[in-house]
């Protein structure tokens, strides 16, 4: 499993690099790149920090994802997790970040 960074959507803000607990992301020519893909353990911190949607998480067969792609969108307090499957179908889960630690 690993992230994928879309260089066309990246604005080089460095937020992803700053939050990665494994120091796996670096900025090259004002674009984020992942240094060692195989070391990514999928904490999703970088996805949540990226405000341009440039980062997607590849859900490989090794974790039952069968090639699905996970991405995150935020609007105000609402964070929506989106899983796009290879067959074109998708699933979304929306969480109010203000209430996510309530229970
Ligand atoms: S998912 Fe976590 S470990 Fe992987 S690159 Fe992003 S912040 Fe780093
Ligand atoms: S957080 Fe997103 S826009 Fe900012 S450097 Fe990382 S990938 Fe690029």
d(CA 6, CA 78): 23
pLDDT at 97 over 90: no
Q: What is the CATH number of domain 2-71?
A: 3.30.70.20
Residue positions counted in the chain: 103
Please give the helix or strand (H or E) that residue 17 lies within, else none: helix 15-19
Confidence of residue 101 (pLDDT cuts 50, 70, 90): low
Rounded CA separation 32/5 (Å): 7
What is the per-residue pLDDT across 36-92, written as a single tens digit (0 to 9) for each?
888 999 899 999 999 999 999 988 766 656 788 999 999 999 999 999 988 999 999
Nearest to 24 by CA among 39, 13, 14, 10: 39
Q: Name the token pair of 36.
A: 């060692």
Ligand 1: residue whose CA is nearest its atom 4: 40
3-state secondary structure of 34: strand
What pLDDT shows up at residue 102?
Answer: 64
What residue owns the CA closest to ligand 2's atom 6? 16
pLDDT at position 66, please? 75
Q: Which two tokens stand for residue 46?
A: 């970088």
Nearest to 52 by CA among 69, 71, 67: 71
Ligand 2 pocket test, candidate residues 27, 32, 34, 51, most atoms within 8 A of CB: 32
What pLDDT is stored for residue 59 in this prediction?
Answer: 83
| Of 30 and 36, the one with more pLDDT | 30
Judge whether residue 19 has pLDDT over 90: yes
Structure confidence at residue 29 (pLDDT): 97
């Amino acid at each position: 499993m690993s992230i994928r960074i879309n260089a066309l959507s990246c604005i080089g803000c460095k937020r992803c690099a700053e939050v990665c607990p494994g120091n796996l992301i670096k900025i090259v020519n004002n674009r984020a790149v992942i240094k060692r893909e195989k070391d990514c353990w999928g904490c999703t911190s970088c996805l949540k920090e990226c405000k341009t949607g440039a980062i997607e998480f590849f859900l490989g067969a090794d974790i039952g994802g069968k090639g699905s792609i996970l991405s995150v969108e935020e609007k105000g307090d609402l964070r929506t997790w989106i899983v796009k499957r290879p067959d074109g179908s998708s699933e979304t889960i929306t969480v109010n970040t203000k209430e996510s630690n309530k229970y």
